[in-house]
Amino acid sequence: MKKSYILFISLFALLLSGCSKDYLNTAPTSSISGSAIFESTDNMKMAINGLNKLLCKQWFSSQGWNGQGTTMLYYGEYPGDELTVYLTGWVNTICGYYHDSDNATYTIRPWHMYYMIIGNANSIIAKVDAATGTDADKAFIKAQALTYRAYSYYYLTQLYGKRWMDSSNGASDGVVLRLDESTGDMPLSTLGECYAQIYQDLDDAIANFKASGSDRKNTYEMGIEVAYSVYTRIALAKQDWQKAYDMATNLLKSNSYLMSTDEYVNGFCHANKEWIWYLVGNETEDLYFFSFAAYMGWNVQASQCRTYPKCMSKQIYEQIPSTDIRKAMFLDPGDMSYTAGTGKVDNSKNKQLYNYAYEYAKERDFLNGHVGFPVSTFTPYVYMQFKFQRDAAVAGTAITDVPLIRTSEILLNRAEAACMLGKVSEAKADMTTLVKTSGRDPEYDNSALTKDELLDQIKLYTRIELWGEGFNWFNLKRWGDTIERKSFSNGGSWFDAVAVTIGPNEPKVNEWVWVIPLPEKNYNHAL
């Protein structure tokens, strides 16, 4: 992978391909000339739409690489301690043993994708002011591009940088800060400089969103709500509790909707008002067996779903109150038997639990009219999930909307920040809104909790609420918490090879830091 950021615009999206010395070569491969791409705000709106497309397209001609969904699953969930899956060939990925391998596929690909987005965002930011169109449109486009850039640098710093508490107040290495269309050698910036740039991008984005006087037309588009949300995330990572609290509050003033219990238990495949930002799934752009749902959807007939359904860790499941509707989103084996060491149910030997899985889904309306479940090769596992599914009403292999930001996350973020600021009563109020007022657990009561107990509970409910949405490993890293996976024989639900304890400073996983990829170092001589 050399510096390859060739801009390609079609009628629907901006895609990228090819290889050159430059990070961004604006000579197009479509019928639109290079100068025309940036001539008008109408064309640049298509380019902005293309940035979104980069988050949900097939990458590298490789199965499973579908953009942000891959980051959520391979980097946010597999190496954490909430989502279990019996994939014996994935031990190194699940345990984080590729972190110090600079030529590993898993090291290279996030770097490649996020810098691809950054390179295109940089071109839009540099050229939008000279385009024909209204000042309002220019401001809105610039705000969107700045937010995409901040979003990408957020993930790069969380993957390739140290946690803030271990960075000597930001003095440790961060990533390469490319902020324009130049393609020369550049050294790593410090983590502090990277965070400062993300803050600046988001400040500028918010100012431009406001100056435009416009709102996004659809919640899958980039808007000020996303800027506030990303700001909350990066502030939490920096332990900037006041900034995280303020940005979450700004967001919640305009969007505090929580999905109903019916919306929740019907499964995550259709965006609703709680979804602040998401990736659209539609049959005209079906990624087939490359898609997020083809790996996560419990009712998808892809091999990853039929043979290796994704499950909640028993250690988390058993902490969910029985009165909480979210507990019913996972298959409780009760006192039935299953294969020790794997959690797998052998259909030929244990039809009782196999049929139980079907009836479990049917009784809770998880089937949504989907006739193909269970298929003959379907294998239930204990604590398997019914949260993510394909849209059975839409033709296609695994069509689903993918949530990137939800109001629930922002409430949890503000509750955490408030608790750290000593605003315990406010943190309790946010948790009550999320859990009790929403109907997710009518019996929820946090009135007797101390500050420390409340903080522990916020962390637990972050795990429960955001399970499978790509937050687990990133949250554990910024918290400095230890991953402790118990095997079946020790009362957990992890197969033996991944039933390990990984501390925050564990050298075997390079202290949770992915190294800078070899292709970048081969080209960028400043490294």
Mind listing the pLDDT tens digit for each residue in 346-361? 654 455 556 666 666 6
User: By three-state DSSP, how is residue 494 classified?
Assistant: strand
Q: Tokens in use for 296?
A: 């996560």
Strands of 361-456 (E only): list them. 402-406
User: By three-state DSSP, how is residue 25 classified?
Assistant: strand
Phi, psi angles (nearest 5°) of residue 308: -130, 65
Cβ neighbours for 340, distance < 8 A, ≥ 6 positions apart: 488, 489
Phi, psi angles (nearest 5°) of residue 165: -65, -20
- Cα distance between the two ends of the chain: 16
Phi, psi angles (nearest 5°) of residue 44: -70, -25
Question: Per-residue pLDDT for the chain (527 aa), expressed as one digit of tens each?
Answer: 233 333 333 322 333 333 333 333 333 333 355 668 899 999 999 999 999 999 988 887 767 788 999 999 999 999 999 999 999 999 999 999 999 999 999 999 999 999 999 999 999 999 999 999 999 999 999 999 999 999 999 999 999 999 999 999 999 999 999 999 887 899 999 999 999 999 999 999 999 999 999 999 999 999 999 999 999 999 999 999 999 999 999 999 988 999 999 999 888 988 999 999 999 887 667 666 778 888 888 877 788 888 899 999 999 999 999 999 999 899 888 776 788 888 876 654 455 556 666 666 666 555 444 444 555 567 888 899 989 988 766 655 677 899 999 999 999 999 999 999 999 999 999 999 999 999 999 999 999 999 999 999 999 999 999 999 999 999 999 999 999 999 999 999 999 999 999 999 999 999 999 999 999 999 899 99
Cα distances from 79 to residues 65, 95, 212, 379, 431, in angstroms, run: 17, 6, 41, 23, 27
Model confidence pLDDT, tens digit, residues 477-525: 999 999 999 999 999 999 999 999 999 999 999 999 999 999 999 989 9
Cα separation of 1 and 220, whole Å? 30
Q: Tokens in use for 6?
A: 């060739």
Place of tokens 């610039």: 142
What pLDDT sits at residue 173?
A: 97
Cα separation of 512 and 480, whole Å? 10
Ordered alpha helix ranges (H), 351-397? 351-363
Task: Tell me if the domain spanning 6-194+514-523 has CATH number 3.90.45.10.
Answer: no
What one-character DSSP code corresponds to residue 102? Answer: T
Model confidence pLDDT, tens digit, residues 19-50: 333 333 333 333 355 668 899 999 999 999 99
Place of tokens 């639900």: 493
SS (H, E, C) 249-304: HHHHHHCCCCCCHHHHHCCECCCCCCEEEEECCCHHHCCHHHCCHHHHCCCCCCHH
Cα separation of 197 and 156, whole Å? 13
> Would you report the helix, strand and coil content of the chain in percent, each value rounded to 5?
50, 10, 45
HSE toward the beta carbon, residue 430, CA cutoff 13 A: 28
Phi, psi angles (nearest 5°) of residue 366: -70, -20
Domain ranges for the chain, please list them. 6-194+514-523
What one-character DSSP code corresponds to residue 15? Answer: E
Q: Tokens in use for 41?
A: 């705000």
pTM: 0.91
Q: Select from 272, 269, 277, 192 the least CA-distant residue to 229.
A: 277
Q: Which residues pair with 173 in a beta bridge?
A: 190
What one-character DSSP code corresponds to residue 117? Answer: H
